Copies of this chain bind each other. A is one copy, B any other.
Amino acid sequence: MSRLGDLGERGLIAKFMEFIRPEGSVGPGDDAAVLKRGVTASTDVVSFDRHMAAGMTYEQFGWYSAAVSFSDLAAMGARPVGFLAALALPDDLELQAACDIMSGIDQCAEFCGTGIAGGDTKKGPGIVTGTAIGLMEDRDPMLRSGARPGDVVCVTGPLGGPAAAMTAIDCGLETEDARQCLYVPIPRVEEGMALAASGVVTSCIDLSDSLGTSLNILCRESGVGMDLEYDFLPRGPDVRRIAEITGTSEEGMLLDFGGEYELLFTADRNGLDVLYEMGVEFHIIGMVNDGKGPELIRDGVRRVIRDGRY
């Protein structure tokens, strides 16, 4: 019998999906679940081991642990109504560090328009499991499966900041703005609600698993292809500079790194005026077609976009 280490996290989830009884009009498999009466929920496990980037404070770690779940609500277009924080922390952790984590969670919840509804604390190796709860109100949830040929492909903000920060840290370079993207990602909650309310967005996903992976998921779930224009991708702070100084691929930074929390969405090209009027920031990065999967066009050369490595 195989062991979990051989299978990986996605393999394990696929295995579970073979036998669990799913609940919700949107069940496991989208960014967040949508249950009866438009109740929306998402849970994420974040650990010191894996998610505490070099130089990150405990307060930023707390913010980050909440932001990942609020970002999932944002991708559906839900309004956050509460956050539950379950902490499994080491006995020898200083009280101040635990309070800093909780304070970071609390600040992120406030930024998202809600507060702490409950939680649990136990002894553990430094794991925070956050659950964000929201309501769809009168909006339809934005799914991963609605993109149609002819739609435009958009993102809500600049990309590559977290990748630039990680690269800079590895090379001992300073880059305060990029680090901020990595340490304090902004869940696009207001943007998500506006996109869902607009009536012109056809699919949406957050970029936590990288642009490359998210593009592939939207294409697979919607049964479409996409052409992405490399020059259209909006660059985050210091991305070009760090790529040049360190000799790292800028294309890789934009497409292959996770830890991004902008929203990727497709929209009816005839409805873009609605989005402009709402004042939502977005950048068109390509077009949906009837092909298979996403392709990148750079300097007239076309290549297939694969999943990111994150």
Contacts and interface: CB of A to CB of B under 8 A. Distances in A.
Q: Which of A9, A22, A103, A123 has the most CB of B within 10 A?
A: A123
B45 A102 contact: no
Nearest to A39: B39
A275 interface: no
Nearest to A92: B3
Q: What is the total number of copies of this protein in its complex? A: 2
A131 to B, nearest CB: 4
A24 interface: yes
B125 A1 contact: no
A81 interface: yes
Interface centre among A50, A85, A131 (most CB of B within 10 A): A131
Contacts of A117: 22-24, 27-28, 33, 35, 41
Most buried by B among A102, A106, A119: A119
Contact of A106 (B19, B32, B133): B19
A4 B98 contact: yes
A99 B41 contact: no
B13 A86 contact: no
A37 B136 CA distance: 12
Contact of A82 (B24, B119, B127): B24
Contacts of A57: none
Interface of A: 1-5, 7, 9, 12-13, 15-16, 19-24, 27-28, 32-33, 35-37, 39, 41-45, 47, 49-50, 81-96, 98-99, 102-103, 106, 109-110, 114-125, 127, 129, 131, 133, 135
26 contacts: A1-B96, A2-B94, A3-B94, A3-B95, A4-B92, A4-B94, A4-B95, A4-B98, A4-B123, A5-B92, A22-B115, A23-B116, A24-B82, A27-B116, A28-B116, A33-B84, A37-B37, A39-B39, A39-B133, A42-B84, A43-B86, A43-B120, A45-B87, A47-B122, A122-B127, A125-B125
The 8 closest A-B pairs by CB, nearest first: A5-B91, A23-B115, A33-B117, A129-B129, A21-B115, A43-B84, A45-B122, A33-B118
